[in-house]
Amino acid sequence: MTRKEELLEATYRYVLEHGLTQLSLRPLAAAIGSSPRVLVFLFGSKEGLVRAVLARARTDELAALDHVRASGDAATIGLTTAVECLWAWLATPDHRPVLTLWAESYARSLVEPGGVWGDFAAATVHDWLALLADCQPARERHSADGSARRTLALAVLRGALLDLLATGDHKRVSAAIAHQLPLLRPASRTGPLPSA
């Protein structure tokens, strides 16, 4: 591992504990055994370091999505099973720091779309919708109804996650997820689904 990679990992661990919004190079550098000058040299600027941390956080997010893909042929999993698998990962207490960072970064991306946070929120939506689409059979995936169901699935997961992060009420929020699962199942049809 290069020194830059080591410092990025140390910065990522620091940010998971302290957040990213008020990140200041001096306290960060002191905490990770470096200096502001070294960090700026390696990452180009504080903004460059923030971009690198966001990319590192996205790696963890994509690993969660890969966890669902690894549980079998994506198209045979189905949307409801994918949501159950994703919620199990999201609700695991060990993942709380990275998910809090995700929520912080998502919100900052909406408030500062032209800033260093850039398209973090939009990229996250795309990543999750792509996974959910992969978990739908092709006939469902390419229909307007299938698109609406995976959008609902994402909205439910995102809302439940924010609620869980705010309240820690795992039992209540998980019950709400279970209550929504029937809405994600395709209606029984004999004819072709309409195209999206």
| pLDDT single digits (tens) 89-105 | 999 999 999 999 999 99
With CA atoms as reference, report the closest residue to 157 among 53, 74, 64, 69: 64
With CA atoms as reference, report the closest residue to 79 among 152, 143, 142, 144: 152
pLDDT above 70 as % of the chain: 92
User: Is the pLDDT assigned to residue 190 strictly greater than 70?
Assistant: no
Bridge-partner residues for 95, per DSSP?
none
User: Cα–Cα distance between 169 and 142 in angstroms, integer?
Assistant: 36
Q: DSSP alpha helices (H): ranges in 91-190?
A: 96-111, 120-134, 138-141, 144-167, 170-180
User: Is the pLDDT assigned to residue 153 strictly greater than 90?
Assistant: yes
